[in-house]
Amino acid sequence: MTEKYNIDDLQYLMARLRDPDGGCPWDLKQTFATIVPSTIEEAYEVAEAIEREDFGHLPEELGDLLFQVIFYAQMGSEQERFSFDGIVHTLVAKLVRRHPHVFPTGELRGERREGGLDEQKVRDSWESIKEAERTSKGEQGALAGVATALPALTRAAKLQKRAARTGFDWPDIDQVLAKAQEEIGEVREAIATGDLDAAREEVGDLLFAVVNVARHLKADPETQLRATNRKFERRFAFVESAITGSGRVLEDAGLEEMDAAWDQAKERGL
């Protein structure tokens, strides 16, 4: 019978990997900074598995992401900064604090609240508690605490949401779309003047406006763009196959032929 491992085993494994006496050379030379790219990559692989509904591989991807947390915890313990137990304690305490509608006594196993919950009131309470936490950390301003390392589309959406809570927002989607159209016009004007630096800046404004459109449609811009990327890959693969299947290379086909194949891909629902 295969042995069933648990979180204690995972922590033991990590300690062995980082053991100066017989540990793994690669793991031993890592630092907090060097494994950040792996953490980000693993998080995206979790997202991709979910978006593809690849639930067979999702546990493996979640395990890879969990390993990143264990890695940080091991290094924190080695440097006597923090431990895995400390990470868990901080997380549970924060979640209990942010869910007074579930934990009215402020205790994990305290008295339960009876009755239904109003989702909007819960959301407002959550944001109010988070704002109080930011203030206690010395983070001032409505936009404080939005991580600069976030993907640009995600950060734009978060900045817009924060601003919207103060009343700084378009009242309806038509005005948001009009703003996006205005930004397209400004891109055209900058290009017409030959000022490419200005045109590039205007493209940034256009992207920000499009994120605003997604937000008003209650769509996550990162998720939507990843879906569109996958759709582009499927359709372009069809175009490529249609042309190379006749023994030619893509460069031998004109744009008109490739557009016709692209339309076929769309008709087939790719």
17-66 confidence digits (pLDDT tens) = 999 999 999 999 999 999 999 999 999 999 999 988 999 999 999 999 99
Residue 258 and residue 26: Cα distance in Å, rounded? 47
**pTM, entire model:** 0.71
What pLDDT score does 38 carry? 95
Q: Which residues of the chain have pLDDT under 50?
A: none
Say which residues have a Cβ less than 8 Å from residue 111's Cβ, sequence separation at least 6: 104, 105
What pLDDT score does 26 carry? 96
Question: Residues, the chain, total?
Answer: 270
CA distances for 118 relative to 94, 196, 239, angstroms:
21, 50, 50
What pLDDT score does 115 carry? 64
Cβ–Cβ < 8 Å for 6, 13: no
Cα 90–Cα 92–Cα 93 angle in degrees, nearest 5: 65
Residue 150 and residue 38: Cα distance in Å, rounded? 15
Residue 28 and residue 20: Cα distance in Å, rounded? 7
Residue 245 and residue 242: Cα distance in Å, rounded? 5
Cβ–Cβ < 8 Å for 198, 190: yes
Report the half-sphere exposure of 36 (CA within 13 A, side-chain side): 6
Q: Which one-letter amino acid corresponds to residue 256? A: E
